[in-house]
Amino acid sequence: MTVNDLALSDSPTNNILDAPSLWPAQAHTPTVNGRQLVVERGEGSWLYTSDGRKLFDGTAGLWHANIGHGNAELAQAAYEQMLQLETYHIFARYSNDKAIALGEKLAELSPIERAKIILNSGGSDAIDVACKLARRHWQREGRDTKKIILSREFAYHGLHAYGTSIAGLEFNREGYGSDSLVPETARVSFNDATEVEQVIERIGAENIAAFVTEAVQGTGGVNPPAPGYLEAIEQICRENDILFILDEVITGFGRMGTMFAAEYYGLQPDMITFAKGVTSGYAPLGGVMVAPRIWKPFYVDSPDTPIFRHGATYAGHATASAVALKHLELLEREQLVARVARLAPVLRRELDALATGRETITEVRSAGLLGGVTLHESLSAEQICDDLVELGFIGRPLRGNTIQISPPFIVSEDELSDFINAIGEAIDARSGK
Ligand code: PMP
């Protein structure tokens, strides 16, 4: 059947026309069509699907459900805020009380001293803003050749125009007609600080606006930095007048066992992007923490002070902000970041035990409550994750034949250990053990 037949056919011979109208994200549609797992309810670390399954959420969805599903206090916070004021924009002299309060809270938590906070709707938004602001910064300084954004092989920074352009996962960049949607980008290899110096030498620091990196690469396969790598990059950025942007969309708000990965690795970025963990996904929210070096010129008391011409209708959304405030309160009240710090060595131990004696596992990696299990090429991470669903667990295949492990912070040690054991069971079943 051709595409034209499809358009004309009123009695399709296969089920393409029966597929739901919702276009699934990141999906090979013929593969998922007819076998979607439709989640209807969540409670803590567990999910319930329309076909009657109960599944352990071993990835916290897309690394977002840190506090776990079905939290009534967060639902209540959203309900109360919507009754009071769903939202009001924060353009020019208008604002809303919840966005302002969240700004204060985030500035207090931020590893960047005296940060200003830009709010928007998610991680891809945050990356777009950070990259635009980096260029805006240098333009305002009169150094408008500084435009190029450097990023790393295997990087994932969302999929808006900038995220697509700086992606280190080639399949996310392909198919848009040129090397990059935004032309001024360049990539460096994944863990080699010396090479970064060479790339800067070649391109010229006078042409580079910023270096963007995740603290621990997530979608690229759960890749912690080589020891000293991020510290070296920060130093190189300082020496070359290149802004250092740390993407903490996954690591922010506790996933490392510290509030931010910047603290974990002892970094002082010029900007930090965040999303997911600021609300644990109870409302779409993200943003950028901005250092004084960048924001001050936009705050000078003068008619000539420039405006940062960025903003969206839902920037500082009042209900999303109210949910974030309650969520951050719960994170502190339940001491969930300390809990992650306690669980991190448990995860490490479980992963080491999983790898021991299994040639089908080529490597296990972890940092905080982030883990990756890389399989030998005789196995497929995608297949193993499908098998895991049949065992009642959700893992996720990532680049490099790796299985993602990033359970909610509220996971019990027993649940964590059951999950890792299930991965072992699925691997052994496929390798004929
Ligand atoms: N940066 C990183 C490091 C991410 O992991 C993600 C999402 N997985 C994003 C940015 C994009 O965030 P969002 O999907 O909320 O746009």
Domain parsing of the chain, residue ranges? 37-67+335-430, 72-333
Hey, how many other C-beta atoms are within 10 angstroms of the C-beta on 85? 13
Give the whole-angstrom CA distance, residue 224 versus residue 216.
Answer: 4
Question: pTM to 2 decimals?
Answer: 0.96
Q: Report the residue among 119, 120, 154, 156 best suited for mutation to probe ligand 1: largest number of ligand atoms under 8 A from its CB.
A: 156
CATH number for region 37-67+335-430? 3.90.1150.10
How much distance in Å is there from the Cα of 220 to the middle of ligand 1?
Answer: 12
Give the whole-angstrom CA distance, residue 127 versus residue 112.
Answer: 17
How much distance in Å is there from the Cα of 305 to the middle of ligand 1?
Answer: 32
- Residue type (1 letter), 308: F
Give the whole-angstrom CA distance, residue 50 versus residue 392.
Answer: 14
pLDDT at 178: 75
pLDDT at 8: 44
Q: Are 165 and 182 in contact, with CB atoms under 8 Å apart? A: yes
**Token reading at 44:** 């803590």
pLDDT at 238: 98
pLDDT at 11: 44
Domain 72-333 has CATH 3.40.50.300: no
**Token reading at 135:** 């260029």
Residues of the chain with pLDDT under 50: 1, 8-13
Q: Are 127 and 163 in contact, with CB atoms under 8 Å apart? A: yes
Give the whole-angstrom CA distance, residue 431 versus residue 83.
Answer: 56
Tokens 């995860």, residue located: 347
pLDDT at 379: 98
Q: Are 370 and 255 in contact, with CB atoms under 8 Å apart? A: yes
Relative to beta strand 208-214, strand 148-152 is parallel
- Residue type (1 letter), 42: G
Q: Give the orientation angle of helix 413-430 with respect to helix 381-391, to 10 degrees.
A: 120
**Which atom of ligand 1 lies at the shortest distance from residue 127's CA?**
10
How much distance in Å is there from the Cα of 124 to the middle of ligand 1?
Answer: 6
Q: What is the pLDDT of residues 323-372, one digit of tens each?
A: 999 999 999 999 999 999 999 999 999 999 999 999 999 999 999 999 99
pLDDT at 15: 66
User: HSE of 121 in the Cβ direction (CA atoms, 13 Å)?
Assistant: 6
Give the whole-angstrom CA distance, residue 61 versus residue 37.
Answer: 13
**Which atom of ligand 1 lies at the shortest distance from residue 276's CA?**
15
**Which atom of ligand 1 lies at the shortest distance from residue 251's CA?**
3
Q: Are 211 and 197 in contact, with CB atoms under 8 Å apart? A: no
Cα four-point dihedral sign 165, 166, 172, 177: positive
